[in-house]
Amino acid sequence: MDYKKTKAPTNTVTRDMNQLTEKIGNVYETVAIVAKRSNQIASSLKRELDAKLQDFSIPQDAIDETFVNREQIEISRSYERLPKPTLIATQELVDDQLIFRTTSKDDQLK
């Protein structure tokens, strides 16, 4: 998913917990589902950023010299401007884009 095109707000927004828990039915399960999705988004963004910054890696011999690469700074800033993973995951839940599975208690006992 392209997280740069998400409709998630960049600032914290107060949400109605009753509206968020309508689909799942339990506040704790809702928080757990959003937290797991948030971790997935965070790790995906980290892998993507690391892959882009890999192009700017410095050989071991040149570590003594410090220099500023404008492109590297711009890439880092663009990722800093993105909404936080928890805000993206919560927006996905509100927009019905979040897919999750739950197991029934009977399945867990078997």
Q: Give the amino acid at 23.
A: K
Interval 57-108: pLDDT, tens: 766 555 555 566 788 888 888 888 889 999 999 999 999 888 888 776 655 5
- Sorted by where each begins, the domain ranges of the chain are 3-99
- The pLDDT, as a whole number, for residue 28 is 92
- The pLDDT, as a whole number, for residue 110 is 46
- The pLDDT, as a whole number, for residue 102 is 75
Tell me which residue of 88, 99, 96 sits closest to 43, measured CA to CA.
88
Residue 90 CA to residue 32 CA, distance in Å, equals 11
- The pLDDT, as a whole number, for residue 54 is 84
Mean pLDDT, residues 26-39 taken together = 93
Mean pLDDT, residues 3-21 taken together = 83
Helix axes 70-80, 27-53, angle to 10 degrees: 170
- The pLDDT, as a whole number, for residue 58 is 65
- The pLDDT, as a whole number, for residue 47 is 93
Interval 33-47: pLDDT, tens: 999 999 999 999 999
